[in-house]
Structure 1
Amino acid sequence: MDAREQLFTEKQRKRIERHDTWERIFENGTVAAAVMVLAAIAAVICANTDAYEAIHHFLMEPIHVGIGEFTVAISVEVFVNDFLMAIFFLLVGIELKYEMTVGELRRPRQALLPMLAAVGGVVMPAIIYALFNKGGAMHGWAIPMATDIAFALGVLSLLGDRVPAGVRVFFSTLAIADDLISIAAIAIFYGHAPNLFWLGCAVVVTVVLFWLNKTQHFRLAPYMAGGLVLWFCLFQSGVHATLAGVILAFAIPARSGIRLNNLTDWLRGYMPDMVDSYDDDAHILDQHDFTSATFGAERVMHRVSPPLVRLERMIHTPVNFIILPIFAFVNAQVRLVGVDLVQLALDPVAMGTYFGMLLGKPLGIVGVTFLLVRSGIADMPKNVTGAHILGVGILGGIGFTMSILIAGLAFPAEPYEVLAAKAAILVGSVSAAVLGMAFMSAVCKKKADPETSI
């Protein structure tokens, strides 16, 4: 029994082991993707039963958000898509900032290939969609271009250590760059005509948030309060309010709140005095010097983790196991009762979305990768083959979360086009997941070398 285990009783150790088991489950991308898929399946089933009317009525119920005069009434559906998804975008922003600070995106040479491949994986689906919808519902061109990071990486993780590390890094970087492009598309093309007053207020709040960072404020509370105000200002401005999550993520400090190079010296001097103040014979409530010393140590050690890391730990599980399943349930209400399925399948929006996801993604990703490698502009990652890139391209067609969000933004007053887009997104994502998994299973037949697997 190690020193840590000796701190707890047998009952406490078992409780901690159960807690650790649940943590591993909640951190598993495959489990999170499965929960989201189950929520989407439940939504489709409910949408085609008598429960649909009651669910639809509930989703249209108003919720009042704000304080006093600064209050807006929004439906449950809008609350989910605009407010709860802003928290999802906050998590996406944290991942982007992490990659740009210490990950692959901080090394331009290594990040160049997957980032430009992501551009190809965005352009080709948009082109294919446009070809199907020439002269028609062109505003939905961005629907098939997004890759769902959580879902796609969850499917890839099913192959375990058979996937070389280079493939995982390439796919992760590509998916993050893809999300960045999708966020930009939402901001530029899918907002309403901006209200300059509220947009100016949002700019002021953004400046304040970055000023807090610049002046080294490491408590999360001021950033959270500023983030809520920023969301409200963006919502009122007409710019899509989910962008508040990304802006907030980039404003939150990624540095530790203490000087880490002096931490060891402080611990050496502080810990002996704290230990000496402990009286084994006295009740803990009567050991004021000891409890005061431990509280001081807690306050210091709490500041070791950067605010960005603390926030990521706080929202990671709620986003993956509460917010995304709720979003999936609310937005996968695809009611097919009384709908001509053949006509729906042949709708240009549905065909453009489906083939944009299933063909456009691999064509764009593989095509750009091939051109960059053959021209010598970029090098193929170690132990990664052209077949791996094709598999990544197919899996890139999984566009569940972002694609559904964009579909709602593209056709706010055209329910049939939204239905066609959502149906195609669901079928396209499932097709990409099944085909991608089957293809990658054939390519990654044996376990990758320990040096090349994560």
Structure 2
Amino acid sequence: MPQTPESVIDEEIIRVDAVAQRIEKRDSRHKITSNGTIAAAVMVLAAILAVIVANTPAYETVHHFFETGLTLGIGDWSATITLEQFVNDFLMAIFFLLVGIELKYEMTVGQLRRPRQAALPMLAAVGGVAVPSIIYMALNLGEGGAPHGWAVPMATDIAFALGIMSLLGDRVAPATKVFFSTLAIADDILAIIVIAVFYGQTPSIPWLAASLGCVVVLAALHHCHVYSSRWYILVGLVLWVCMFNSGIHATLAGVVLALFLPARSDIQLDALRDWLSDKANLLDDAYDAESHVLGQHDFTVAAEGVEQVMHHVTPPLERVENAISVFVNFFVLPLFAFVNAQVCLVGADPAAIIADPVTRGVFLGAFLGKPIGIIGVTFMLVKIGFAKLPRGVDWKQIVGVGLMGGLGFTMSILIAGLAFTVESEVLAAKCAILAGSVVAAVVGSVFVLVATKKPEGPEQPVEE
């Protein structure tokens, strides 16, 4: 029995609905993979696995594997990089690209576009960086200390801390999460500056000049309104090579690349609706219900044109973020944690590790210095009338933020790898980072659970 036009239309509607449902399911999976709590949990599991492996007979095999060199070459040119360097220098540059995208987002449409509103958490971040460093220096300036590791306890791991806050649910006000996010972003900026200024190698002038040339090319692409992200990525790869050989830590290439990615769409959004309406009429005229889709050339060409235009509605900054976020959260960071959290305690003297000034400096700097700096600066600025606490945030919430600020992992381990070359100092720093993060998470969570109550009414909107 031949199909009527109405039945054909109904069938097409069903097929379109089926495709839409598949897209919705994909979006649901994206919500799971973009969940910070899940990503933080995966990284925690990777770190725990690393500690377990490091204290088994498999440690030597795994350690040797990551020390294996990779040789990359084009023609007569070749370079060798170990798997550990590949993770810490190249893959972490992609992580820094994601950090840079988040920074640019906040500067464009987020909290950092309102300097006065962001001033309080940003200055609190300065306190949360300075006090841990002072405590570390005070404990390591004497004989046997390692003052060059002063930056290790200054970093806050935003993924871990926000993941813990999410687990606490309504006990942490939405405005508190915004306050903490702004603080952590400022903390990342300071950590990036510290890595660039204090933990590079002897600079190579030719490679620095080449790096500057890459930055000029990125600026030219942005100035000429190039909206294809592939050109920025290509120049970014060249920039990474130049910075890797220049003495500046290569991961910073990711931040530089992010700052030049266009945050605007090359589509005039206010005219898009009328354009789509015209294209819809064109598609309607070109559609032939009696023909197979392969025979509807005019229709498919017009549809492809709409698809290409709609792709450009999303700014390159957001397209790159969507492309790398899952890869970074579920591959790069867990792999980084596994490679760098391998704390081998077999044959080590626990008493010597605890007594090491590096251990005490990092642990006390993070666990005590972070809350003292964050809470102290916030209290001082509020009391002198410079700023007010955001609506919905009280001092109990600020104390919780301060305690959670001591939860450092990613940046702290990265800086520890740059700051220390003696194996015993690296071991002491990693033990202190892991212990400090666990204690900060537990103490901060317990404090929030005990000191705060669940809201009885609906949540207050975050003050803009």
Shift of 1:160: 2.1
Deviation readout 1:263-297 (Å, 9 max, x if unpaired): 12211222111122111221111100100000010
Partner of 1:265: 274
Deviation readout 1:162-204 (Å, 9 max, x if unpaired): 3222101100000000000000000000000100100010000
5+ long unaligned stretches in structure 2: 1-9
Moved more, 254-263 or 183-192: 254-263
1:182 aligned onto 2:188: no
Secondary structure in 2 matching 1:73: strand
Provide the rounded CA distance (Å) in 1 between the counterparts of 2:151 and 2:258.
24
Check 1:60–1:180 CA distance in 2 against 1; reply closer, same or farther (3 A cut): same
Secondary structure in 2 matching 1:229: helix
Shift of 1:8: 3.6
Shift of 1:18: 4.5
Paired residue for 2:221, among 186, 194, 212? 212
Deviation readout 1:383-431 (Å, 9 max, x if unpaired): 21111111001101111000000000001x2111001000110111111
1:335 aligned onto 2:344: yes
Partner of 2:285: 276
Contact 1:162 1:448 in 2 (8 A): no
Partner of 1:250: 259
Check 1:335–1:398 CA distance in 2 against 1; reply closer, same or farther (3 A cut): same
Deviation readout 1:325-374 (Å, 9 max, x if unpaired): 00000000100000011110111001100011100000000000001000
The aligned length equals 450
Paired residue for 2:178, among 169, 175, 178? 169
Equivalent residue runs for 1:260-339 within 5 Å: 260-339=269-348
Provide the rounded CA distance (Å) in 2 between the counterparts of 1:68 and 1:440.
60
1:375 aligned onto 2:393: no
TM-score, normalized by length of structure 1? 0.96
Deviation readout 1:210-269 (Å, 9 max, x if unpaired): 110110000011111100000000000010000000000001100001111221221122
Provide the rounded CA distance (Å) in 1 between the counterparts of 2:371 and 2:20.
49
Aligned-CA RMSD value:
1.7
Partner of 1:146: 155
Sequence identity of aligned pairs in percent? 58
Partner of 1:75: 82
Amino acid of the residue matched to residue 439 of structure 2?
A: S
Paired residue for 1:350, among 337, 359, 363? 359
Provide the rounded CA distance (Å) in 1 between the counterparts of 2:351 and 2:85.
31
Secondary structure in 1 matching 2:37: helix
1:124 aligned onto 2:131: yes
Provide the rounded CA distance (Å) in 2 between the counterparts of 1:282 and 1:253.
42
Deviation readout 1:144-171 (Å, 9 max, x if unpaired): 0000111111111112233222101100
Contact 1:91 1:249 in 2 (8 A): yes
5+ long unaligned stretches in structure 1: none
Provide the rounded CA distance (Å) in 2 between the counterparts of 1:246 and 1:67.
27
Which entry has the higher C-alpha Rg, 1 or 2? 2
Amino acid of the residue matched to residue 180 of structure 1?
A: I
Shift of 1:32: 0.4
Provide the rounded CA distance (Å) in 2 between the counterparts of 1:268 and 1:275.
11
Equivalent residue runs for 1:388-407 within 5 Å: 388-407=397-416
Paired residue for 1:86, among 80, 93, 97? 93
Amino acid of the residue matched to residue 383 of structure 1?
A: G
Moved more, 15-24 or 187-196: 15-24
Provide the rounded CA distance (Å) in 1 between the counterparts of 2:342 and 2:397.
34
Contact 1:148 1:401 in 2 (8 A): yes
Contact 2:96 2:255 in 1 (8 A): yes
Contact 1:209 1:223 in 2 (8 A): yes
